[in-house]
Amino acid sequence: MQRIYFDNAATTALREEVLTAMLPFLRQQYGNPSSIHAEGRAARAAVEKSRRNIARAIGAKPSELFFTSGGSEANNTAIKGAVAALGVKTIISTEIEHACVRNSVGQMQDAGVKSIDLAIDQFGRADLGQLRTLLAKAEGKVLVSLMHSNNELGTLNDIAAIAALCQEFGAYFHTDTVQTLGYYPIDVKQMAPIHFMSGSAHKLHGPKGVGFLYIRQGIHIPALIVGGGQERQLRSGTENVAGIVGFAKAVDLALAEMSEHRAHISALKTYLIDQLQTHFGERLSFNGDWQGESHYKVLSVNFQSELPTDMLLFKLDLAGISASGGSACSSGALKGSRVLSALGVPDELRSLRLSFSYENTKEEIDRCIAALLKIV
């Protein structure tokens, strides 16, 4: 039986075209980009070409893009670097940010930085009215850290409006675009200043283990990882050449096919919602802004069931369907989602996150509905 993968917010399948682009740098062109011989120069050229391509995709300059091991490292570097070098005394974020942001802010709070949790609405969207109030009365330098799309709910924040507010009050703005890079147009030139932005390859059918941190020109922060001084002294360690090349290829493909894939995935999500409502009725509810400004590839749904969420997921897995109870980065802990708790989702409801890719089909949704009818 062909398995069904509905966990694309956790990670995505590596595209064949991406693998093809990577293979030469895993086999023949294996030079170290820091070496001055021919193999090293070829590797360096590949890294810099990839940097230019990804920078162009987000409207940035190549010099503003720094490669990392992924989104978590990028977010850690931005938050801790802003405190260390920019005089940030207050960090404003929400309690439903990704764990790497939440925990980084917590570490900075332990070091004496003031941390403020911005209110969210019933969909998990940041309260920009309160943000304006907080920024207006804040003393000293402020960093606002808000994700573009919540990884569990799909709810979108208006990062252009947030950037404008931060500019108005002289605050720094960091946004995590791990879930939206390659799915929505992002152009840092067309917005008020975004000072830090993170991205990751494996959420858009690229390889795992590579991401980037965008740092606006003129901002300088210290390295989180020290050593050989790679990435212009910001991130030491030999660059993941094959991963970086694959990242750039994945971004190129995602941008070229964005409209087509969005239409396909959006139609699948709409069909799934309709089928769930038809078959489960009042036993069903949804989380996040599922009827409004929400990521088209993510759906968070609650069921009334006597089975705990982990057992629902286990039974779905046995039926050949991969789904999630929330963030894959913490799902192994088998504990309730702090994101859903923050929204007030009752503990007695069983919550699943279903997330899609361009490879999914209507027939797979029909199989999923049939399995859920037997399980829930």
Q: Is the pTM of this model over 0.75?
A: yes
Q: Which of the four pLDDT bands, split at 50, 70 and 90, describes residue 329?
A: low
Please check whether residue 210 is in contact with residue 51, taking contact to mean a CB–CB distance below 8 angstroms: no
330-341 mean pLDDT = 72
Helices 258-280, 241-256: inter-axial angle, 10-degree rounding: 80
Mean pLDDT score across all residues of the chain: 96
Both tokens assigned to 278 = 């038809």
Helices 362-375, 258-280: inter-axial angle, 10-degree rounding: 30
Catalytic residues: 329
Per residue in 216-251, pLDDT (tens digit) is 999 999 999 999 999 999 999 999 999 999 999 999
Instruction: Map out the domains of the chain with their CATH numbers.
Output: 4-12+258-375 (3.90.1150.10), 16-256 (3.40.640.10)
Both tokens assigned to 169 = 């009050």
Per residue in 265-297, pLDDT (tens digit) is 999 999 999 999 999 999 999 999 999 999 999
Both tokens assigned to 358 = 């361009």
What is the CB neighbour count within 10 angstroms for residue 363? 9
Please check whether residue 175 is in contact with residue 159, taking contact to mean a CB–CB distance below 8 angstroms: yes
Please check whether residue 126 is in contact with residue 108, taking contact to mean a CB–CB distance below 8 angstroms: no
Per residue in 48-103, pLDDT (tens digit) is 999 999 999 999 999 999 999 999 999 999 999 999 999 999 999 999 999 999 99
134-139 mean pLDDT = 96
> Beta strand 88-93 with 284-287: parallel, antiparallel or unpaired?
unpaired
Per residue in 96-131, pLDDT (tens digit) is 999 999 999 999 999 999 999 999 999 999 999 999
User: In Å, what is the CA distance from 363 to each residue of 274, 277, 342, 356, 369?
Assistant: 14, 17, 34, 13, 10
CA proximity to 287, closest of 254, 255, 325:
325
